[in-house]
Amino acid sequence: MTKDMQRALAPAERAVLEALFDTMFPGGENNPGAVEIGAADYLDKALANVYAHHLIEYRDVLAAIDAASPDGFVRASAETRLDIIARFERGELAGLPENRDRTSFDLIWRHLREGLFSDPVHGGNRDFAGWRAVGFPGAQFGYRAEEQALNHKVERAPQSVIDLPESARLLGTPAVHESAGEGEPDVLIVGGGAVGGFLAHKLVRQGLNVVILEAGPARTGRERSMDEILATAFRNEGGAVKFNDEVPTWRTRPGERARRAVMSQGLETALGGNSIAWGAVAMRFYEEDFRIRSATIARYGEDRIPVGSTMADWPMSYDNLAPYYDEAEDLLGVSGHAGNRADPARSRGNPFEAPRSRPYAMPALHTSGLGQLFADAAKAEGYHPFPLPAAINTTPYRGRHACTYCSFCSRFGCHVDAKASAQNTVLPAALETGRLKIVTGARVMDIVTDDSGRAVGVRYRTSNGDMKFQGGGTVVVATYAFENTRLLLLSKDRRHGRGLGNETGQVGLHYMTRQQPSVYAFFEGLALNRFIGPTAQAMAIADLTGDHFDHTDLDFIRGGRIAAFNQYLPVEASGILPPDVPRFGKAWRDFFLKSYNSTSMLFIDPEILPYENNRLDLDPDVTDSLGRPVVRITFDIGDNERKLMQFLQDRAERIAKRMGATRTWRRQFLTGPISTHDVGGTRMGHDPETSVVDGFGRVHDTPGLVVLGGSNFVSLPAVNPALTILALALRAGDGVVSQGAGQQVEAVPA
């Protein structure tokens, strides 16, 4: 077949691929094999298009596999084929390509799973055969509450995303501008994600003129709804314009050679940023989280601070941030139940949560059968389960639809705008004022300062390669932790030879990223229907979070959250296996087909402490396509975290067994360098010797420059960071307004 027919492999190569795939996922009495399902068609088509950059590697791999048998792989016995695949997985075949970042087996196994279980629109999963084999209905507009009951048989014909009504697809693209036009705005914001969008909304309502520079394209917020392949972290279409070209490198210790973190989480680089893909858990930090160091010392003594940890208190209290939590929740629309601190046993919400001045805007997402199973078991263990608060509508809210409990939420745009994003909350209102202009396709290269060292604007590269300058009265860098750090380090002048904000060498230090050492539980013969509902439709416990329990006789400090989440999609799920189940052959096939709808994950969010070892800097060897160094991550977990994770896994496993699990297994402690909960690098604090910015994000050594986002975090509690990031941005907005050259600004009605 020719490339014009969307085929990339020669006939002999295609024959080896088909034999390989059918051996890895063979047909059985009740299921077709990989080739019949369409996995080889899927991959051959992809290698001619979106995976064309992998074609040379595939040809080398297929040649090595074919050469491993004297008569060729196609004619080899089943036993010989399995032996060759085992050697391939171990990297022992002659002629395999070398890749420091991942193995060829990891790549091909991932692509096989995509061909088996992705939406048929991509060329595999023929006639929904893969989905039918595991009982997944595909792209459904939504589900009824009773369909989430345990052992309920979901009787729906599988659907492709193209079968959805037009109303569940894209809306019009938000208005943007190709250039910022004449004049200088009061505030220039680098980054059109949630931080930039919410800050801009705050500022224009106070009468300021704002320009946002966004590296990616405009979008509606509904993109990739219900399409696991396009939203998956591995392909990450949302990061195609920028992030996928600059994936950071990672090492665990200084002196090691870093490798690209290509199999880690992807980040969105388009208008709205990660607010499109987030899971929408909207929790506040606890009161004690803002004084983590002093509270630990007061209760247990200074010798309990782990060796090498750079733990510090935040330059603010919970009370300082509480009004901005209120503001962020109001803009998002958050569903949940307030905690009853006075009577935890009767609390519908989190009994440990900090004081609130108002209830949540909507009731919590309803509890699924799995959620109730977890809650009952957790109560029996003496804990206080509660539904996670979520920025997802449970009733219509400000013109947005209520959640339909579809199968696609975290990493997806919302097909009915029930999940809050910058696009369906703050951006439209901010644009309507006429005070906000958004420039898309504007990749900022560096921050510009004047002769006094004050930030006065940025240089950016347009999508057609032109270089332009954009000035601003105040320059705000509001990208992700990696890019915030990189921009400061790449921006130098005669006063800042090591980069802006870096006179005391603090830029890049104190990096933290979430680890997820979850416990998996298999329930023999029990249909969980976990594929229904958003990720944030979860029951959780906070009894083991922070210092909510006594650590006096324990060998670690701090804690973590345990929760039972929904959303379980087949491509990702097919890679979740107990350690004794191989990644190919009849054993893999049989286990996954049997376990898909009977497997739960008890998700563990441990608190990660900052350490001297962990940091971000510029990789001296690896660059993006523009020749600019990518971020290098140095990160490992400490002994404190290892002991904490062991403790949390033990407790999670006890809950799982009380739930009735017939088999459990554990994820490793160190789960990777990129988690979408990446924080630190531009720590906030009062002292310029130990921090980069103050409590309002103002850079200590560079007047006129503000840096906002998770990079400002001092610690990473066992709470999703998004709501705190937004609250900090809204507080910083008040700081920008109050320092706006002493001018009086007229408030604009909301």
Q: Residue 619: its pLDDT value, please?
A: 98
| Each residue's pLDDT tens digit, 167-220 | 665 555 555 655 555 679 999 999 999 999 999 999 999 999 999 999 999 998
| Each residue's pLDDT tens digit, 26-83 | 999 889 999 999 999 999 999 999 999 999 999 999 999 999 999 999 999 999 999 9
Average pLDDT over residues 98-107: 93
Tokens of 274: 């990660």
The answer to whether 420 touches 403, Cβ cutoff 8 Å, is no
| Each residue's pLDDT tens digit, 630-683 | 999 999 999 999 999 999 999 999 999 999 999 999 999 999 899 989 999 999
Longest CA pairwise span in the chain (Å): 83
Tokens of 205: 């309502």
Residue 693 has pLDDT above 70, yes or no: yes
Phi-psi region of 75 (alpha: psi -120 to 50; beta: other; left: phi over 0): alpha
| Each residue's pLDDT tens digit, 217-242 | 999 888 888 999 988 767 888 888 99
The C-alpha atoms of residue 200 and residue 683 are separated, in whole angstroms, by: 22
Q: Which of 141-155, 330-344, 484-498 has the lowest mean pLDDT?
A: 330-344
Residue 3 has pLDDT above 60, yes or no: no
* Domain spans of the chain, in order of start: 3-133, 173-230+237-246+266-278+283-333+421-513+609-619+679-750, 344-411+516-607+638-671
- CATH topology for the 173-230+237-246+266-278+283-333+421-513+609-619+679-750 domain: FAD/NAD(P)-binding domain (3.50.50)
Reported as type and span, the H/E element at residue 480 is none
The C-alpha atoms of residue 269 and residue 598 are separated, in whole angstroms, by: 35
Residue 615 has pLDDT above 80, yes or no: yes
When pLDDT is cut at 50, 70 and 90, the band that residue 345 belongs to is confident
Residue 702 makes CB contacts below 8 A (sequence gap 6+) with 449, 453, 454, 455, 496, 500, 501
Q: Residue 748: its pLDDT value, please?
A: 40
Q: Residue 177: its pLDDT value, please?
A: 58
User: What does the H/E/C string look like for 524-563?
Assistant: CCCCCCCCCCCCCCCEEECCCCCCCCCCCCCCCCCCEEEE
Collapsing DSSP to helix, strand or coil, 130 comes out as helix
The C-alpha atoms of residue 320 and residue 327 are separated, in whole angstroms, by: 13
Q: Residue 238: its pLDDT value, please?
A: 87
DSSP state at residue 1: -
Distances (CA, A) of 741 to 17, 186, 187, 701, 744: 66, 10, 12, 18, 9
249-251 and 210-213 strand pairing: unpaired
Collapsing DSSP to helix, strand or coil, 456 comes out as strand
Task: Tell me phi and psi for residue 448, to 5 degrees.
Answer: -105, 135
Average pLDDT over residues 8-14: 97
Side-by-side strand order, sheet with 560-564: 386-387, 539-541, 560-564, 599-606, 519-522, 663-666
| Each residue's pLDDT tens digit, 114-140 | 999 999 999 999 999 999 999 999 999
Distances (CA, A) of 197 to 421, 456, 676, 724, 726: 9, 21, 18, 15, 10
> Facing residues of 188 across strands?
211, 475
Burial class from Cβ neighbours inside 10 Å (0-12, 13-18, 19+) for residue 525 reads exposed
Q: Residue 264: its pLDDT value, please?
A: 78
Average pLDDT over residues 323-347: 90
The answer to whether 361 touches 395, Cβ cutoff 8 Å, is no
Residue 2 has pLDDT above 80, yes or no: no
Can you tell me which residue has the tokens 């002991």? 643
The answer to whether 225 touches 408, Cβ cutoff 8 Å, is yes
Burial class from Cβ neighbours inside 10 Å (0-12, 13-18, 19+) for residue 169 reads middle
Buried b (16+ CB within 10 A) or exposed e, 672-685: bbbbbbbbbbbbbb
DSSP state at residue 356: -
DSSP state at residue 750: -
When pLDDT is cut at 50, 70 and 90, the band that residue 4 belongs to is very low
Q: Residue 347: its pLDDT value, please?
A: 78
Distances (CA, A) of 83 to 73, 555, 557: 11, 45, 47
| Each residue's pLDDT tens digit, 429-442 | 999 999 999 999 99
The answer to whether 429 touches 202, Cβ cutoff 8 Å, is no
Average pLDDT over residues 562-567: 96
| Each residue's pLDDT tens digit, 243-281 | 999 999 999 999 999 999 987 788 999 999 999 999 999
The string of DSSP letters for 55-124 reads HHHHHHHHHHHHHTSTT-TTTS-HHHHHHHHHHHHTT-STTPPP-SSS-HHHHHHHHHHHHHHS-GGGS-
Q: Residue 79: its pLDDT value, please?
A: 97
DSSP state at residue 453: S
